[in-house]
Amino acid sequence: MLLLISPDSVEEALDCVKAAEHLDIVDVKKPDEGSLGANFPWVIREIRHAVPADKPVSATVGDVPYKPGTVAQAALGAVVSGATYIKVGLYGCTTPDQGIEVMRAVVRAVKDHRPDALVVASGYADAYRIGCVNPLALPDIAARSGADAAMLDTAIKDGTRLFDHVPPEVCAEFVRLAHASGLLAALAGSITQADLGPLTRMGTDIVGVRGAVCEGGDRNTGRIQPHLVAAFRAEMDRHAREHAVGVPAVN
């Protein structure tokens, strides 16, 4: 399982650099513009220059509307700026067909520029609260559009968490559907160390966190702390080892 950490500024990215050995992907977002809020192209570029060359940079293009052309341009901007994982939050797509149309446009825009970039179709565990596509539709949307990964996050950051809206057994089905289509499965949404057991057992490929590695556990006002990144990774590794030998980890 890969660890994706989401700094919201170049300064926080430098904190991630201090913990680079403990993380796998640096994810650029702007939390004050939403769950998958897009940051500025120059911030993506500066963070790409700041982090080690062997660490991929991911960038969100926002909680997007059903506007395929607009979203395709945004995705191209992210990959041109140096991101190699391009995440699209299908916030304004109310049907799978709309999601597929948006994601096909994104895939073409991104892959025409950089064929090895990875495109992530992101949905929301609390989709019922905002009226967007069902979480379990995401793997099919991603597969039919030519994307590389399907992801779930939470849209409304009000203290509720991934498993509050999509329980572990449903998340496991999400992962199974993604893998059946040859996709990576990514999960995020106020994830804590206590969630790592079920996330490991269900075969999650990428876990995305911010609040769990911020001072005070606050994704908005706290700053990423390198020692919290290291502690989170240590717990991930513990669960991975114990899962590999069939021994359930005890939190």
- Are 148 and 184 in contact by the 8 Å Cβ rule? The answer is yes
The catalytic position among 18, 67, 87, 111 is 87
- Check if 111 is active-site: no
216 CB-contact burial (10 Å; exposed 0-12 / middle 13-18 / buried 19+): exposed
Show the tokens assigned to 119: 């495109």
The catalytic position among 29, 30, 55, 111 is 29
DSSP state of 155: S
How far is residue 42 from each of residues 13, 47, 64, 66, measured CA to CA in Å? 13, 8, 20, 25
Distance CA 78, CA 84 (A): 8
- Check if 18 is active-site: no
Show the tokens assigned to 96: 């799978």
SS3 assignment, position 60 = strand
CA 43 to chain centre: 18
- What is the rounded end-to-end Cα distance, in angstroms, of the chain? 18
DSSP state of 123: E
136 CB-contact burial (10 Å; exposed 0-12 / middle 13-18 / buried 19+): middle
Distance CA 46, CA 55 (A): 14
Distance CA 146, CA 62 (A): 20
- Are 132 and 94 in contact by the 8 Å Cβ rule? The answer is yes
| Catalytic residue IDs | 29, 87
